[in-house]
Structure 1
Amino acid sequence: MLKRYATDEKGQSVPIAKIYTEQEHPISSDQIDSDAFAITRRLKDAGFEAYIVGGAVRDLLQGKSPKDFDIATSAYPKQVRKLFRNSRIIGRRFRLVHVHYGSGKIIEVSTFRTDDEEGNSNNVFGTLEDDVKRRDFSVNALYFDPQKLHIIDFVDGVKDVRAGKMKSLLPLDRTFKDDPVRMIRAIKYSTGGGFRMGWKLRRAIARHVDELERCPSSRMTEEVFKVLASGRSALLIDEFLKTGLFRHMLPRIDSLLKSGDKKLRGAFFASLEELDLLVREKNEDRKGQMLVRLLGPFLELSLEGTNSVDLFRDTFKSFKQLLEPITPPNHEVEMAVIKLFRQCGIRTPRNIARRPKPSSLEPIAKDKENKTRRSRRRKKRQSAENADVALDV
């Protein structure tokens, strides 16, 4: 095993991380997303550090296929943006880069961060060593070099993955105040990922559950859809209900499920289990399909005493109210209403659903498509001209 060294205050070299080589872990190059591999290679060719980080490394060590390949780098967001034309800088509190590919695929690239003087991980960039100190759990603090096939481990994360346990890297009286969403992730890793949580970690979640009130709606929206797309949403939401987290995620649904209506609760979890089956067997990723499975059990539709247009609008409004405080795109909510109408045998009013707003990157995609078409036409003309010349000869 190799080791990574740093110089301490006395000027001496001390080991700060273990480096697992290709022979010491099960991850192979053919398991790495080709686009993520290309991004890290281009960043390295430009003189930056770049690693696949977090959940992807954890999943690969468990023998799973990651849904996302996030990348951490020493390059600043503007430097990443210059290297990838198909990218966009996002975020206010901390700026990230999303690199866009076909079919809605996005690879997230973040710059190494450090804590500021007040202990906040804002837009303060740092080194790899700084970055690992502000990550949430040991099993998510692994950095993978896809070119060398090395895992860099500062916190014995590989050991924890192999042992099926997780530990917080920050003090438990601080970590959930810094980022309340870590409580949701802890439940996901424990219930959905098979990692054991110690009683101290569970007690800390119980004590800090109300911190979720501070979570912005955009982040909560993202986390809810991650749960629905996990293939284990029924198990996760059941655990969120038990721990009290769900009342801060989807409070109206939480209240309805706790009303004592066993039939409603049974229909709700049966619907989630159907969604989980679709995700696992057919890779279902449409938000509209997820929303109709989440919300459908709470609504009974009938055209008696109304018309389909009014019913569509009333159902859309009910969906939005049930979803508060999360804010999915209106188009996705409309798609969920359309699917619910079809399930109930109700014809959807024509031209009532709005089309999604085009992405600001669509002109880039269209430009590439037009260039490809022009290139094909040019090649056809050249082939035809060559054929004519051959006939003349």
Structure 2
Amino acid sequence: MPDQDQTPIPFSSNPPLIVPRSEHQLSRANISASALKVLYRLKQAGFQAHLVGGGVRDLLLGREPKDFDVATDARPEEVRQVFRNCRLIGRRFRLAHVHFGGEIIEVATFRGGQVDEDDDGHLIENGRIIRDNVYGTIEEDALRRDFTVNALYYNIADFSVIDYAGGLEDLRAGRLRLIGGDPERRYREDPVRMLRAVRFACKLGFSIDPACEQPLFDLPHLLGDIPVARLFEELLKLFLAGTSLDAFEKLRHYGLFAHLLPATEAALAREEQAFPLTFVARGLANTDRRIQEVKPVTPAFLFAILLWEPVRKRFQTLLDKGLAASEAMLLAIDEVGAGTRSLVAVPKRFGLPMREIWSLQPRFEQRDGKRPHRLMTHPRFRAAYDFLLLRAEAGEADPALADWWTRFQGVDEDGRTQMTSGPSKRRRSRRRRRKAPTVDAAGDGA
């Protein structure tokens, strides 16, 4: 069992733990060829070059890293001089991106530790780091990182692993700890660290050290100071890592979810007919399963799941007021979308498909005449159909409706005509078409 009594370590001048190549399992054979090129060329140019962060952590855990980051004493402009295929990005943190086809190796200059508040490269507002381009030593860089397990360095000069913050011990203990003596201060410097704590705990299966965990209950409101586009990107990392259900439950446990998607949290806080709403949990479990099976999951579909409950509830309210299903759905989508944009900005390239997935749901009720045939030609039909299946699985759409559409896709054109020919003559009235569809209490037809 991990030691739960450990506390965040302070900034320190203690000598690092250096583990020689013969005593660790990290091998160059598991590092991408592009990352090795960057490391070797920086070394040949006379600079320090280290693999750092998640790549080192994952390799030491026997996992396959998603990407490889490099830390060096070379300034960004010096990195660009070494690599013609390099672009400098970022204002808050100046970084070099070295491009190898579709692969990007991120190169960061060692960050400084103690800084002058008047330094133009370092800007703090209300305790939050706005700009941080003060450079320093590898030790200062290590102790400026967030979690101990992310402050491990692989030195290409001698293939050793360097540990300034006790990260190797925490890896063995399965423990997630912030670097620094004051967890609240570290969260205030960058509130996104709270989301990263949840993400790494879920991804690695680690426990969060109690001293680092308590502020998560107290500081969720700080997320309101983070740019909405950055929050969207962090949510993608949280929910597209194959552990979205666990992340969702942890976010709700700490009160973080309510500050990200409050309309969804408010909808989930209420039960229907004494039964808890399970659609989001089932949808996220399905997302995790698809990722584990290496099947695609689009952000549009993910956020359609996360925001469906408030849309569905508002849709049902508008139906009860006598609005036609299509009109009620569009109004519900607009109202929920307007309330979400100020918190988490879903880009249009994902927001428009998300709206289409929702807006097609009432059309699945229309199973007579040519309408099912036309619906099948819609570019978003397959995603909307998958969404209907999730709704039926959660018990808020009629399973018979989902089964009908499954059978409809599986038969030939004659079979489809037979399935849709019966009810058409009985549903020609314009008034009947505009009448709200029959729905059950869980929102069947939504």
TM-score range for the pair, normalised by the shorter chain length: 0.7 to 0.9
Alignment of 1:35-184 (within 5 A): 35-103=34-102, 105-115=103-113, 116-118=115-117, 122-146=132-156, 148-170=158-180, 171-184=182-195
Amino acid across the alignment from 2:210: W
Query: Residue 216 of structure 1 corresponds to which residue in structure 2?
Result: 227
Contact 1:250 1:324 (C-alpha < 8 Å) held by counterparts: no
> Offset of 1:220 from its aligned partner?
1.2
Contact 2:264 2:309 (C-alpha < 8 Å) held by counterparts: no
* SS of corresponding position for 1:265: coil
Alignment of 1:2-13 (within 5 A): none
Contact 1:40 1:51 (C-alpha < 8 Å) held by counterparts: yes
2-structure distance, mates of 1:269, 1:292 = 13
| Compared CA separation, residues 237 and 100, structure 1 to 2 (3 A) | farther
Contact 2:311 2:332 (C-alpha < 8 Å) held by counterparts: no
Amino acid across the alignment from 1:138: T
2-structure distance, mates of 1:260, 1:47 = 64
Amino acid across the alignment from 2:292: R
State which structure, 1 or 2, has the greater radius of gyration over its C-alpha atoms.
2
2-structure distance, mates of 1:315, 1:85 = 47
Q: Which one of 320, 344, 348 corresponds to residue 330 of structure 1?
A: 348
1-structure distance, mates of 2:303, 2:33 = 31
Runs of 4+ in 1 over 6 A off after TM superposition: 310-314, 341-344, 348-351
| Compared CA separation, residues 110 and 169, structure 1 to 2 (3 A) | same
1-structure distance, mates of 2:107, 2:249 = 32
> Offset of 1:100 from its aligned partner?
4.0
> Offset of 1:270 from its aligned partner?
0.5
> Offset of 1:242 from its aligned partner?
1.0
1-structure distance, mates of 2:270, 2:84 = 52
Structure-1-length-normalised TM-score: 0.74
Count residues in correspondence.
Answer: 336
* SS of corresponding position for 1:231: coil
Structure 1 residues 315-346: Cα deviation after superposition (integer angstroms, max 9, x where no partner): 57755644642223311222334555677764
Amino acid across the alignment from 1:332: F
Q: Where in structure 2 are there 5+ consecutive unaligned residues?
A: 1-12, 317-322, 365-374, 381-446
* SS of corresponding position for 2:108: strand
| Compared CA separation, residues 196 and 60, structure 1 to 2 (3 A) | same
1-structure distance, mates of 2:334, 2:51 = 40
Structure-2-length-normalised TM-score: 0.66
Contact 2:187 2:193 (C-alpha < 8 Å) held by counterparts: yes
Alpha-carbon RMSD across the aligned residues, in angstroms, is 3.3
Identical aligned residues as a percent: 33
Contact 1:32 1:146 (C-alpha < 8 Å) held by counterparts: no
- Is 2:251 the partner of 1:240? yes
Query: Residue 421 of structure 2 corresponds to which residue in structure 1?
Result: none
1-structure distance, mates of 2:46, 2:346 = 39
Contact 2:326 2:359 (C-alpha < 8 Å) held by counterparts: no
Structure 1 residues 49-89: Cα deviation after superposition (integer angstroms, max 9, x where no partner): 22221122112222211212222222222222344444432
1-structure distance, mates of 2:64, 2:353 = 29
- Is 2:265 the partner of 1:266? no
Amino acid across the alignment from 2:294: K
Q: Larger relative contact order (C-alpha < 8 A, sep ≥ 6)?
A: 2
Alignment of 1:283-362 (within 5 A): 284=296, 286-296=298-308, 299=311, 305=324, 315=333, 318-319=336-337, 321-322=339-340, 324-338=342-356, 346=375
Amino acid across the alignment from 1:228: F
> Offset of 1:152 from its aligned partner?
0.9
